[in-house]
Chain A
Amino acid sequence: MALVLENVTKSFGKKKALNNINLSFEKGRIYGLLGPNGSGKSTMLKLMTGLTFPTIGTVTLNGHPVTRKSSEQVAYLTELDMFYDVFTVEETVNYMGSQFADFNIEKAKELLGELNLDSTQKVKSLSKGNRGRLKLVTTLSRDTDAILLDEPFSGLDPMVRDSIVNSLLKYIDFENQVLIIATHEITEIESLLDEAIAIHYGNVIGQESVETLREEQGLSVLQWFKQISREQGEG
């Protein structure tokens, strides 16, 4: 078991961002954390990478509690990026290589080629789509136990999305890595997922294997998600 959340509650002041979450994530599988904006997806990812800590409960990675140091074992793509505008693409990759011991420069170079990024271009002059691609390159190039992606498709056009999905499938090391994607864009990643986890105002309201949903209920993840969200609204 790679990542485990046990009885996790996270409060910000009086507001509960996450409410008694119990989830476990195994390597070799791809999970989708699905929910509208503000449902607690990002908070959950931050707990997994040690950027914030549970108010109640425990988060463990390979059996050890997640701490600030856990970011060494977890690659995390945030909605923001922290690139230096004056660096070129290549300098950015080299810089990341100098910051993370697990950064695989060879993989990064392959990915740059794969995603048609020009290494000599300055970060400042990258289009939004190419900046999104560069974020993915720097995340996927780390040989970590877990890869967490927070809204990787946000604001990117369909062509960029496809190339991102493609690179995910090509470069994830399924033997050793767990991939968790938080998004509200369900259709984009449906066929990638092993499991879908639905989050609604800080609660996990459902967890299903994507193929079981189709086999037993004849539902796509989006249909399932709409159905259980509606039930929440009524209940």
Chain B
Amino acid sequence: MGEDFQASKPIYMQIVDKITSEIVQGKRQTGDKLPSVREMAVQMGVNPNTVQRTYAELERLNIVETRRGQGTFVSDNKDLTEELGRNMQDEIIQSFIQKMEEIGVDRKQLVALLQQYLGEGQ
């Protein structure tokens, strides 16, 4: 069985995130065919109905398209990877800022800390 899933988030959304991240990383290219629902279910060790929902959600987000009788493909949209990448970056930055604010670091301090950290890293 392939994957471990967090309790706090629906499994189908966790697979949406995983596939999206694979597209951003270039592991899946625009126009690539995704495994069939059943194959993906076996790979992930999840219920096929869950994968069905994942694919429906990806389609709703225009990340994939279903071609009748052929299967599901990563959308043939050149800007897709870039767009998904930007969204993902936004999400990570947002959650980072939120966590820092929760522990009392204001935005000015945050920038300074980040510069310091990255400077030291070089």
Query: Which of A165, A169, A194, A223 counts the most chain B CB atoms within 10 A?
Result: A169
Q: Which residues of A contact B1 (CB under 8 A)?
A: 161-162, 165-166, 191
User: Nearest Cβ distance between residue A197 and chain B, in whole angstroms?
Assistant: 15
Q: Residues of B within 8 Å of A, CB-based: how many?
A: 20
A211 & B10 in contact (Cβ 8 Å cutoff): yes
Q: Which residues of A contact B3 (CB under 8 A)?
A: 191
B45 & A169 in contact (Cβ 8 Å cutoff): yes
Chain B positions 1-20 with a Cβ under 8 Å from a chain A Cβ: 1, 3, 5, 7-12
Chain A interface SS verdict (over half): helix
Tell me, yes or no, whether B47 is within 8 Å of chain A by CB.
yes
Which residue of chain B has its CB nearest to the CB of A192? B47
A214 & B41 in contact (Cβ 8 Å cutoff): no
Tell me, yes or no, whether B86 is within 8 Å of chain A by CB.
no
User: Nearest Cβ distance between residue B35 and chain A, in whole angstroms?
Assistant: 12
Query: Of A192, A210, A219, which one neighbours B45 at CB under 8 angstroms?
Result: A192
Q: Which residues of B contact A194 (CB under 8 A)?
A: 47, 49
Query: Of B9, B12, B42, B44, which one neighbours A170 at CB under 8 angstroms?
Result: B42
A174 & B48 in contact (Cβ 8 Å cutoff): yes
In which size bucket is the chain A interface? 20 to 34
Q: Which residues of B contact A117 (CB under 8 A)?
A: none
User: Nearest Cβ distance between residue A36 and chain B, in whole angstroms?
Assistant: 21
B46 & A214 in contact (Cβ 8 Å cutoff): no
Q: A190-226: contact bitstring with B at CB < 8 Å (1 yes, 0 no)?
A: 0111100000000000000011001100111001000
Chain A positions 139-175 with a Cβ under 8 Å from a chain B Cβ: 161-162, 165-166, 169-170, 174
Tell me, yes or no, whether B28 is within 8 Å of chain A by CB.
no
Pull 10 A–B residue pairs with CB atoms less than 8 Å apart, ordered by A: A30-B47, A166-B42, A169-B38, A194-B47, A210-B11, A211-B53, A214-B9, A214-B10, A218-B9, A220-B7
Interface, chain B (partner A; CB < 8 A)? 1, 3, 5, 7-12, 38, 41-42, 44-50, 53
Extra pairs beyond A30-B47, A218-B9 (5, CB < 8 Å) = A28-B49, A169-B41, A192-B45, A210-B47, A211-B12
